[in-house]
Each structure stands twice: as C-alpha cells, then as structure tokens.
C-alpha cells in the first residue's frame, strides 16, 4: 500500500480558469468535524449507489443533505426534496457546512452564496466519476463549491466541450474547489481512486459538493 502522497507538500492555491480555483487546505481545520457530520448523517440517509439512466450502478456512493438532493435513476437526473431510500426529507445542512461553503465562494468573489443542496460522495479504491457538467441546477449564477476529505484524488478539469482534454490536478484532504461564472459549466470528473490509507478516512475519500439549485 502506498503511503507517500497522502498530503500536499505545501499549501498552494491553483487558478483553474476565470471564476475557478483550488483553495489549498481551505477546509483543513474543519475536516475532522465535517467527517463526523458525514458519518452521523449517513445513519439518517444511507450511502447508496444510484443508477444512471442506462441502468448502471455508479461506483461512487452518495447521499444528500439540505432542502434538495441530487438523485439519479432510470428516469434520469433531478433534484428531489425527498430521499427515495428513506421516503423522508434529506438531513439538514449543518451550519458548519453552510459557513464553509459561503466563505469558500466568497474567496473567489461569489458573495452571499447560500447552497440549498449538498451532495455527499464516497469513493472507495477504484471508484471514479466520468467527465460531466453540473447542469441540473436552475440557478447557474451561483458557483459550485467542492470539498475533498481523506484520500487524495486526481481531479479532471476539462473545457466547455466534452472532448476537450482535461488537465489533471491532485486534490488533498481539506482542499476546496470553487467554479462559477464563466467556468460554471466546465466538464470535470475524478480519476480512479488509488489504494492508500488515510488517518481520517482509511481507504476512502469523501467529497462534498454544494449547489444552489433554485
Ligand atoms: C462532483 O463532480 O460532483 C464531485 C467532484 C469530486 O468528487 O471531487
Ligand atoms: Fe460535478
């Protein structure tokens, strides 16, 4: 098992494009509290492998918190106020989550960001997320804020066309990516998670993506 490369050598923000950047370690101080919230909420709304429209189970397991949750099944993608697994509303967005997302958006010049949805992703070794746009939100003025926890991953940052060749950036525990404005609909994804052992999450990576859906 590989032990090196679990943590970034230095704190270094990376500009991805207009309105888009990696904020290195921005969430590091909050990371363990964020993970505790994820584990608590996943008792209320379990991680599940949603199906794509084509009927394939996604390798990333997910649940949501907030007023709206992103769901995918054979009928397609949508935001739903009710968790289809529990038939109950999604768990509330913790204040810590709201505050962090608001501060990260603000750092890129997107003031007053109040997300109404947070998708919680869980990657195990081999999980990946193919290139996609986040375009199921009615509000495209608000940015996307994405928080990485646990094992590092390779983030794929493409262009406005699916075929644009993506740049590859390592995302470490506590890193936050913000993309909005002219970069709001950029194609992005995550390469296959590699095996390692992280002190906070073991052999897993969590990701939070905050969205304002309406
Ligand atoms: C996403 O695009 O929804 C997740 C990105 C990530 O896991 O870093
Ligand atoms: Fe996404």
Checking if the pLDDT of 57 tops 90, the result is yes
Instruction: For residues 158 and 164, give the distance between their C-alpha atoms in angstroms, rounded to a whole number.
Output: 6
What does the pLDDT average to over 38-56? Answer: 97
Q: Is 188 in the pocket of ligand 1 (CB under 6 A)?
A: yes
> What would the DSSP string read from start to end of 14-78?
EEEETTEEEETTTTTTTHHHHHHHHHHHHHHS--B-PBPTTSPBPSSEEEEESS-EEEEETTEEE
pTM: 0.97
Check: CB of residue 38 under 8 Å from CB of residue 94.
no
- pLDDT category of residue 9 using cuts at 50, 70 and 90: confident
Checking if the pLDDT of 83 tops 60, the result is yes
> What would the two tokens of residue 14 be?
């990376």
- pLDDT category of residue 36 using cuts at 50, 70 and 90: very high
CA-CA-CA-CA dihedral for 129, 7, 211, 191, to nearest 10: -10
Q: What percent of the chain has pLDDT over 90?
A: 95
For a ligand 1 pocket test, name from 120, 121, 127, 143 the mutation site with the most ligand atoms within 8 angstroms of its C-beta: 121
What does the pLDDT average to over 9-14? Answer: 93
Give the residue extent of every domain in the chain: 14-211
pLDDT (tens digit, 9 = 90+) per residue, 21-32?
999 999 999 999
Check: CB of residue 139 under 8 Å from CB of residue 180.
no
Mean per-residue pLDDT of the chain: 96
Q: Is 207 in the pocket of ligand 1 (CB under 6 A)?
A: yes
pLDDT (tens digit, 9 = 90+) per residue, 68-80?
999 999 999 999 9
In the prediction, which pLDDT does 3 show?
55
Instruction: For residues 128 and 58, give the distance between their C-alpha atoms in angstroms, rounded to a whole number.
Output: 9
CATH T-level assignment (fold) for domain 14-211: Jelly Rolls (2.60.120)
For a ligand 1 pocket test, name from 77, 119, 129 the mutation site with the most ligand atoms within 8 angstroms of its C-beta: 129
Selection from 107, 88, 92, 81 nearest residue 179 by Cα: 107
What does the pLDDT average to over 194-209? Answer: 97
**Residues whose CB falls within 8 Å of the CB of residue 95, separated by 6 or more in sequence, listed in order:** none
5 against 179, higher pLDDT: 179
């Amino acid at each position: 098992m590989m032990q090196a490369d679990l943590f970034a050598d230095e704190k270094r923000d990376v500009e991805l494009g207009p309105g888009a950047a990696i904020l290195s370690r921005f969430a590091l101080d909050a990371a363990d509290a964020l993970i505790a919230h994820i584990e608590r909420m996943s008792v209320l709304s379990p991680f599940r492998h949603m199906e794509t429209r084509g009927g394939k189970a996604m390798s990333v397991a997910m649940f949501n918190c907030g007023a709206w949750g992103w769901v995918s099944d054979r009928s397609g993608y949508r935001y739903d106020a009710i968790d289809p697994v529990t038939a109950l509303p999604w768990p509330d967005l913790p204040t810590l989550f709201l505050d962090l997302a608001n501060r990260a958006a603000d750092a890129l010049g997107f003031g007053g960001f109040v997300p109404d949805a947070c998708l919680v992703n869980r990657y195990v070794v081999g999980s990946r997320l193919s290139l996609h746009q986040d375009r199921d939100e009615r509000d495209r003025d608000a940015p996307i804020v994405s928080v990485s926890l646990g094992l590092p991953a390779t983030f794929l940052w493409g262009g406005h066309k699916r075929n644009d060749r993506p740049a590859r950036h390592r995302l470490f525990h506590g890193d936050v990516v913000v993309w909005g404005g002219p970069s709001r609909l950029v194609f992005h994804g995550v390469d296959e998670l590699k095996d390692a052992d992280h002190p906070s999450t073991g052999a897993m990576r969590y990701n939070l993506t905050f969205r304002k859906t309406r």
